[in-house]
Structure 1
Amino acid sequence: MGALIKTTNGGADWTVSQTNTTTPILKVKSFNGQTVIASGYDGLILRSVDYGETFTQIISGVGNGFDLWGLEIVNDTLGWACGATTLLKTTDAGESWQIVNIPGYTGNLWWIDFLNVQYGFVAADGKVLKTTDGGINWEIIQAGDSVPLYCIDVIDSLHIAAAGYGGTNYSAKNLYSSDGGNNWIVGDTLTTESVNCIQFINPDTGYVLMTNSPARKTTNRGQEWTTIGGINDNYELQLLEKNKGYSVGTQLKINKTADGYENWKRLITNDNFSDVFFTSENKGFAISSYGFSNPSGLYKTLDGGINWEKVVGAPDGTTLLFLDSLTGFIGTSQINKTTNGGINWYIPNGGQGGAGKIFFIDETIGWAIRSNVIYKTTDRGENWFVQFTAPSSITFNSIHFIDSLYGWTANFGGRPYKTTNGGTNWVQQTNLDIWLSKDVLFNGQLKGFLLESNKLYQTTNGGLTFNLIPEITGYSVAGKFRHFNDSTIFITGYRTFRSLDAGDTWIDFPELSGTKITGVSLLGKGFGYATGDLGLILKYNDTSVPVELTSFTSSVNENDVILSWQTATEINNQGFQIERRETKNERSEEWNAIGFVSGNGTTTETQSYSFIDKNLEAGKYQYRLKQMDYDGKFEYSKTTEVEIGTPNKFSLEQNYPNPFNPSTSISWHSPISGWQKIKLYNALGEEVETILNEYLESGFHSKLYIANSTLPSGVYFYKLTIGGTSQVRKMLLTK
């Protein structure tokens, strides 16, 4: 509050003026553009002499409880302000103000409008006040019934329009005078909402703005009103020459017309954004979902959030998720899917049930929740089916899976649910005294978090018990987790917190206190975007992050996995520990360190790294990097997953190295499981020894052979036999 924004190019761009106040501002006016006056609550008057760049507070002579609702600047020096039983006048361009008394009237003064220095009107409680001598004398005229008139427009010396109160079983008051305000005619029926502003462009044609309603237009002095589109729930209208005009309202509503006041364009995106997702550093989406007076829909940026455009034809929603640059989802009263980067959207099979949150454990398997129902997909969201229906007293708020088997819910109306078989069965955790959870996040089988509106719970034993985290408890955080990797976690809401150590400690962002953050999209542990109400979009860039990992990818070459990654900058980087875990029977095992790659200390240049994990058996594997500083600090990367497939044919590879002394590696591919034998023969075909005789699973295999010290140099043959299939290769031993 206490904010003023300014444009110098017709509303294309806006800047914030320095007001140095938190008191709400109600009106702002200027006669010449250089001297700008603003008024507000508790007798607030602000003055600027530099075209609205900076403002100083002026003593008004009235204080707390005397709000100044009306403001009129007549010329370079003369101005008026009115409000709660108060009328003020300035004759020195707003440097000083004097209280003006009106004998016989002690009520509220809602709006003031002057035709010239001498002739003016004030809208009051059931009356209008009229002056013809510059405010020396005021005539009190009854205007219709006794309910207030909130606004008045002096069209010319004879024609005046006024409007105001609306309420239950009471159509908004609107009046018209054709004899200089002496007599008033009641206008046609409007809604029961109050009229905030009335303005005419000629004696016949005028407009009104109302609370919670579209604007209305008359062409016969208020005897009939018709609805016009484009401006809803606005408070003030400024109609200019050449068919141009502006309207403003609550929640950053600013609209402009340039074609005769019939079509209005929004100048500021003031959607209440509910989520955000970036598919790259430059391309991202923000979604909004609700509000009569606030538009809703999907917005897209291609330049890192500098410019946003609304995606025509896209649905609105509460949750937003992309699997890659092309495939994405919007959740609202139905699930919507795109396969072309957000250009077109459709409802997939089973998506009619809707989604409050959508979660994918990989590129194919995902879940969605809405009300008391959990939906699942196994084909990238093309088909959804109901997996679980809880009692009607339950409202699911969030869902999170650790792997394809283990998952948790956060919900109102009962304790959280847990599954250990991919959602086939859900069991309510009756051992937990947590009834109003809003979000859930796990970093593995044991460590996880549940979030309530003002409480954070942590478990380190797989959910058997949860303990309160005192750093968060007591703050209204609204309840959303966002995580970049296992260690970097954000909690957003009316307070925003961050952890860089998997939730062991939390850091507050005091500059965001009281600002509702509804969505976060992290592209790196120190880089991302956030959204909030009233079109709020923030960019997060933490330059203190020591190592900025820009990519981490994996690929498969037969039974080897190639890991590649890049960094943009490094500070004090000792290196990267490579960690792997295998997924067996759809359950993730523990992480194991399998290698280390040295870092480059401190550098601002792009660095590229790679690591090859060799000779793996068939199966699914997950990898992550543990970036380690010289001072002992560490940070985990996102995980990447690969699958080593089963060979489709039998193959015995050439040993390496060859020739060899004294050791060599023998590799082979086996499409079946069974007893596998490797025997060594000399050049005469005589068996020398058995190198391998084991039962092995199908897959890619390798055996290190070390020649017996008594074995002479020469040509040898090694033969692999699996079932009824055999293959032979030649090797050369040199001493």
Structure 2
Amino acid sequence: MKEHCFAIINRVERNAVIKLTVYYAYILFIAMNTREVACQEFWSQLDKDTRGSLQFGSDGSIYSTNSKVRKSTDKGESWIQIAPDSIYGRTFLTESGLLVVCRPYVYELGLGLVYVSDDDGNNWRKWQGMHASTVWRDEIWGEATCFAESRDGTLLMGMDGAGVYRSSDNGLNWHWAEPEPSAHFGYGIHDILVVDDSVILVANNEGLHRSTNNGRSWVDTEFPYRRPWNIEMNSNGTVYASTQGALYMSEDKGITWIPLDFESGNFIVINNNDHIYAVQGLYGSKLYKSLDSGLHWEETGISGRPREYDSFYSLDCHPDGQLFATFLNGGLHISNGSTTVGFDPYPLEQHAESYQLLQNYPNPFSEHTTISYSIERGGLVTLAVFDPLGREVLSLIDGERKAAGMHRVELGSLRLNPGLYFYKLSFDGHSKLKRMIVK
């Protein structure tokens, strides 16, 4: 009888375990499929072959290159080839409508040819002087990585291995844009940004560099990271630069930089409403967005990519606000709707906070550091420094009325002994605390 009871109990336990296992498997199945549906709601695949950054015309046309130069007038639904098979490579489209294709450098031939069309691909011509040479820098060497057109029509081309070249006669003649002797100007050029009528920024392996004469000469900026990848600017003139591990902003045309509280990757784009979309991590898999100039960030759903693809290869924003992305293993995708007009499949929660306290930079510091904060409306602000025991050791702002916007406070190390400290911002009845280290 006793053995019979134990047998019944064992059967009941086994049945309970089986039911529990089936239940959790069902929950996991629902979660995975919900995740997949959520991603499919955000992205729709256009093709499996396209990989790389896109170029957008003023009329909404899209230009893409793989092994062929192609154009789409229906947002990637269909494509037509607009160049012979012999013309392929990175494609750039200038503000004036000049279409530039840079064929990759071929070591055996010593060539990195550049072709141009000013009639939307109907006719092509080769730019002279665009090939490797034993006389380094007298002729353009290497492969083009980025292209820009300044406000006065000057063409700027970043070349991997050769720096930046400029042309003031629509590409007939090119000259090396020589940096100042004090500039640590590297030659792995990643991006070029035209800020205004005279200021241009260049991101390369050595940092961010600035020109105030349309690219004739360059000087270093105070950018704190050696390898910036991507530079973007919003409608207010605020510049954002992404690195493999951080995101920075500049409100003075690239002279000084402030770190944002976000771990960035290679790609950032800004739409017409100044909403920022950024991929986190080097060739990362998560897409984040900020609706308030980079102060707050939220992930766009469970994942920013379809599940079957590993990581982003490029991210672009169409003039109407739709996002285009390519993935290392997954071709071209488009977001399902505009990011500027009523499209928000994963809306940001409304932040009750009316202020933001950023991490001081540099940190740790030995001479001076900058504490930055922002408030959404004017009000009384208090900012103080405390030791690890909670004792106030320094008052930086004592209940002063500040206007809405971003503010910075400079702090010198002579006012503090080496060690760990905390700084606290109080505003609107709430407070935030961050730590810093004096070396």
Which TM-score applies when normalising by structure 1? Answer: 0.33
2:144 matched residue in structure 1: 355
Q: Please, which of 63, 66, 79 is the counterpart of residue 285 of structure 1?
A: 63
Aligned mates of 1:535, 1:315 — CA distance in 2: 25
Aligned mates of 1:363, 1:484 — CA distance in 2: 25
Contact 2:287 2:304 in 1 (8 A): no
Aligned mates of 1:274, 1:544 — CA distance in 2: 21
> What is the SS of the residue equivalent to 1:416?
strand
Aligned mates of 1:440, 1:485 — CA distance in 2: 16
Are the structure 2 counterparts of residues 335 and 496 from structure 1 closer, same or farther at C-alpha, using a change threshold of 3 Å?
A: farther
| 1:407 matched to 2:200 | yes
2:243 matched residue in structure 1: 452
Aligned mates of 1:464, 1:392 — CA distance in 2: 16
Q: Please, which of 175, 179, 182 is the counterpart of residue 385 of structure 1?
A: 175
Are the structure 2 counterparts of residues 284 and 372 from structure 1 closer, same or farther at C-alpha, using a change threshold of 3 Å?
A: same
Q: CA deviation at 1:426?
A: 0.6
1:126 matched residue in structure 2: none
Which AA in structure 2 matches 1:337? V
Aligned mates of 2:334, 2:113 — CA distance in 1: 29
Contact 1:400 1:407 in 2 (8 A): yes
Aligned mates of 1:503, 1:350 — CA distance in 2: 42
Aligned mates of 1:441, 1:543 — CA distance in 2: 20
Q: CA deviation at 1:544?
A: 6.7
Structure 1: segments with no counterpart, 5+ residues: 1-19, 22-267, 289-295, 549-735
Q: CA deviation at 1:486?
A: 7.4
Tell me the alpha carbon deviations over residues 386-424 of structure 1, each in whole angstroms, 9 at most, x when there is no partner.
222687854221111211311211111x23211122222
Q: How does 1:421-432 map to 2 (within 5 A)?
A: 421-429=213-221, 431-432=222-223
Are the structure 2 counterparts of residues 383 and 529 from structure 1 closer, same or farther at C-alpha, using a change threshold of 3 Å?
A: farther
Aligned mates of 1:508, 1:368 — CA distance in 2: 34
Q: Please, which of 260, 278, 292 is the counterpart of residue 469 of structure 1?
A: 260
Are the structure 2 counterparts of residues 346 and 483 from structure 1 closer, same or farther at C-alpha, using a change threshold of 3 Å?
A: farther
Identity of aligned pairs, percent?
18
Q: How does 1:119-134 map to 2 (within 5 A)?
A: none
Tell me the alpha carbon deviations over residues 334-390 of structure 1, each in whole angstroms, 9 at most, x when there is no partner.
432112212343322444434200112348233110134111133444543322268
Q: Which has the higher strand share?
A: 1
Q: How does 1:511-526 map to 2 (within 5 A)?
A: 511-512=304-305, 514-524=310-320, 526=321
Q: Please, which of 93, 100, 104 is the counterpart of residue 321 of structure 1?
A: 93
Tell me the alpha carbon deviations over residues 496-536 of structure 1, each in whole angstroms, 9 at most, x when there is no partner.
33444444444433232743141414122x33533344561
Which AA in structure 1 matches 2:239? G
> What is the SS of the residue equivalent to 1:330?
strand
Are the structure 2 counterparts of residues 521 and 486 from structure 1 closer, same or farther at C-alpha, using a change threshold of 3 Å?
A: closer
1:374 matched residue in structure 2: 164
Are the structure 2 counterparts of residues 350 and 362 from structure 1 closer, same or farther at C-alpha, using a change threshold of 3 Å?
A: farther
| 1:343 matched to 2:122 | yes
> What is the SS of the residue equivalent to 1:313?
coil
Contact 2:154 2:167 in 1 (8 A): yes
| 1:397 matched to 2:161 | no
Q: Please, which of 49, 61, 68 is the counterpart of residue 297 of structure 1?
A: 68
Contact 2:315 2:326 in 1 (8 A): yes
Q: CA deviation at 1:272?
A: 5.5
Which AA in structure 1 matches 2:69? L
Which AA in structure 1 matches 2:125? Y
Contact 2:48 2:332 in 1 (8 A): no
Q: Which has the higher helix share?
A: 2
Aligned mates of 1:387, 1:535 — CA distance in 2: 38
Are the structure 2 counterparts of residues 382 and 486 from structure 1 closer, same or farther at C-alpha, using a change threshold of 3 Å?
A: farther
Q: How does 1:41-52 map to 2 (within 5 A)?
A: none
Aligned mates of 2:272, 2:169 — CA distance in 1: 25
Give the count of matched residue pairs: 270
Q: How does 1:103-502 map to 2 (within 5 A)?
A: 270-271=48-49, 273-279=51-57, 283-288=61-66, 296-311=67-82, 312-313=84-85, 315-323=87-95, 327-331=98-102, 332=104, 333-352=112-131, 353=140, 354-362=143-151, 364-370=153-159, 371-388=161-178, 394-412=187-205, 414-429=206-221, 431-443=222-234, 447-471=238-262, 473=263, 477=265, 479-485=266-272, 487-492=274-279, 493-494=283-284, 495-502=286-293
Aligned mates of 1:339, 1:419 — CA distance in 2: 28
Tell me the alpha carbon deviations over residues 196-223 of structure 1, each in whole angstroms, 9 at most, x when there is no partner.
xxxxxxxxxxxxxxxxxxxxxxxxxxxx
Max radius of gyration: which structure? 1
Q: Please, which of 517, 520, 530 is the counterpart of residue 325 of structure 2?
A: 530
Contact 1:486 1:502 in 2 (8 A): no
Aligned mates of 1:393, 1:358 — CA distance in 2: 17
Contact 2:154 2:214 in 1 (8 A): no
Tell me the alpha carbon deviations over residues 462-481 of structure 1, each in whole angstroms, 9 at most, x when there is no partner.
4444232223x1x5x3x134
Say what the alpha-carbon RMSD is for the aligned residues.
3.7
Contact 1:297 1:316 in 2 (8 A): yes
Tell me the alpha carbon deviations over residues 408-457 of structure 1, each in whole angstroms, 9 at most, x when there is no partner.
11111x2321112222221123x443111112234489732221113211
Which AA in structure 2 matches 1:537? L
Aligned mates of 1:457, 1:349 — CA distance in 2: 38
Aligned mates of 1:506, 1:418 — CA distance in 2: 28
Q: Please, which of 292, 299, 312 is the counterpart of residue 508 of structure 1?
A: 299
Which AA in structure 2 matches 1:453? Q
Are the structure 2 counterparts of residues 520 and 446 from structure 1 closer, same or farther at C-alpha, using a change threshold of 3 Å?
A: closer
Aligned mates of 2:251, 2:95 — CA distance in 1: 30
Aligned mates of 1:417, 1:485 — CA distance in 2: 26
Which AA in structure 2 matches 1:515? S
> What is the SS of the residue equivalent to 1:396?
coil
Aligned mates of 2:127, 2:175 — CA distance in 1: 11
Select the structure with the greater relative contact order (CA < 8 A; seq sep ≥ 6). Answer: 2
